[in-house]
Amino acid sequence: MVEKHKHCVVCGMPISPDKTPPVCSKKCEFILSRRARRERIVWMLLPLPFVVLLILFLIFGGAAP
């Protein structure tokens, strides 16, 4: 049986399916936006070690056999 509702992505409270963003209250909307911002920063910083490694490889790559 499928009920015609979604759940708040923050606290899991049942909400109407056409709600955008899928949260139950302003409080959860704030929590969601704060979480999304943090995730965006993490995704931005995630390739950084690889970029640094690539640069190091380009600089010191000639020393490798």
Report the residue number, 11 or 54, with the smaller CB distance to Zn ion: 11
Opening angle at CA 27, ends 25 and 33, nearest 5: 105
Q: Taking Cα atoms as reference points, which of 46, 47, 13 lies closest to residue 32?
A: 13
Is residue 21 within 8 Å of 35, Cβ to Cβ?
no
Site string for Zn ion, 21-60 (x = CB under 5 A): ---x---x--------------------------------
List of residues 6+ apart from 55 with CB closer than 8 A:
none
Q: Given candidates 11, 36, 52, 55, which one binds Zn ion under the rule CB under 5 A?
A: 11
Q: Given candidates 1, 3, 7, 10, which one binds Zn ion under the rule CB under 5 A?
A: 10
Interacting residues toward Zn ion by CB under 5 A: 8, 10-11, 13, 24, 28
